[in-house]
Amino acid sequence: MSSPSPCPCFSSWSSHQRYRVGYALSAKKDQSFIQNSLINEAKQRGIDLIKIDPTKPLTQQGPFDCVIHKLYGPDWNNQLRQLSLHHPNVVVIDPPESIERLHSRISMLDVVTSLKIPPQGNQKFGVPNQRVSLDESENLMDSIEKVGLKFPLIAKPVPADGTAMSHEMSLVFNENGLKKLKTPIVMQEFVNHGGVIFKVYVVGEHVRCVKRRSLLDISEEKLNSLAADEGSLWFSQVSNLVAKNNEVGGCSELEKAVIARNKGKGWCCSEVDELVEKAEMPPLEFVMELAKGLREAMGLRLFNFDLIRDSRDGNRYFVIDINYFPGYAKMPDYESVLVDFFCDLVEEKRRKVERELGVKENRCGEIEEKNHLCE
């Protein structure tokens, strides 16, 4: 097997020219994302990944052609502003102000409801009905009845900043479960989606869609048969449903609990895996257009979104979550996708430099022409 070729745009640069990508990540993110396989593939294609020390001034490190980051706070944001001010040709992925909208579940999905993309067959998309409650004195039952929300509900914290607390959620079956919630809270109507979630990874113009296990459907019959004290189930991230053991067909504790509530249908753990295996992927054109629309509307290039398909209508999809700079290492062949993206940035920067040089040459030509006319 031949080794990967360098980025094609390097052919117009010096043969010794290399592209330097600085990365600023938390220790946990660094460990999962910056793997040897990614470093080596990048090196083979003329790209060096350089670790940034966030405790030192960013303008004193480098030089960088591009900076990717997942750090937050006023100090870091100011460092990025200073970098862009003093080194405008450095590409920053992504702007902090664009990332911040994803840190709140109040505003996160607004971009989906306002999205306009070309029609893709019979596919429709939207977001589940939801209600945000910020007032501690608010009666949550009255609140959901006003907007017509129906059980079951997914209760989520308002912050979506990647902290452990922001991932703590609950599946609420009835009023008794509702009473256990504390505000501020986002209550999202649970949509039966066949126990399968589609995780769509966006890396610039590169898009990958994968299937994952999710919460099983809950029939109205089962919902009505639940005892009053079975008000809710707590969990941390739907993505954590995947069993952490190595047993074939192993299930997480939450899956076992939901299976127990669906035991009338005869669910078992191995059948949960079969649901995912048999699930049909969403049409590629639809996924690509949705990803493109979100990328352009949010001004972000590194994100993923969770997509579910309504069990009652196979052409209706819901975006239920959007995450910045997700766990790309879980994406198949993530190394080549990320390095392809870095190469796209190389080409983007090369074109920008050439445009700037062309503008300067035109200005110089105009000045020379004026001087000649004045002689």
Residue from 299, 304, 255 nearest 276 by CA: 255
Residue with tokens 């020379």: 368
Helix H or strand E encompassing 153: strand 153-156
Side chain identity at residue 365, one-letter code: G
Asked if 339 contacts 38 with a C-beta cutoff of 8 angstroms, the reply is yes
Cite the annotated binding site for 1D-myo-inositol 1,3,4-trisphosphate by residue number: 29, 70, 167, 199, 323, 327
Q: Three-state DSSP class for 192?
A: coil
Residue from 69, 47, 49, 48 nearest 58 by CA: 69
Give the full edge-to-edge strand order of the sheet including 196-203.
Answer: 124-126, 316-324, 302-309, 196-203, 206-213
Asked if 193 contacts 311 with a C-beta cutoff of 8 angstroms, the reply is yes
Side chain identity at residue 222, one-letter code: K
Beta bridge partners of 68: 23, 93
Q: Distance (Å, rounded) from C-alpha 204 to C-alpha 341?
A: 6
Phi-psi region of 185 (alpha: psi -120 to 50; beta: other; left: phi over 0): beta
Cite the annotated binding site for Mg(2+) by residue number: 306, 321, 323
Cite the annotated binding site by residue number: 29, 70, 105, 156, 167, 188-199, 214, 306, 321, 323, 327
Helix axes 36-44, 334-374, angle to 10 degrees: 40
Asked if 307 contacts 9 with a C-beta cutoff of 8 angstroms, the reply is no
Q: Distance (Å, rounded) from C-alpha 302 to C-alpha 110?
A: 18
Cite the annotated binding site for ATP by residue number: 105, 156, 188-199, 214
Q: Give the angle 83-160-309 at the CA atoms, nearest 5°.
A: 115
Q: Distance (Å, rounded) from C-alpha 184 to C-alpha 135?
A: 7
Q: Distance (Å, rounded) from C-alpha 239 to C-alpha 199?
A: 9
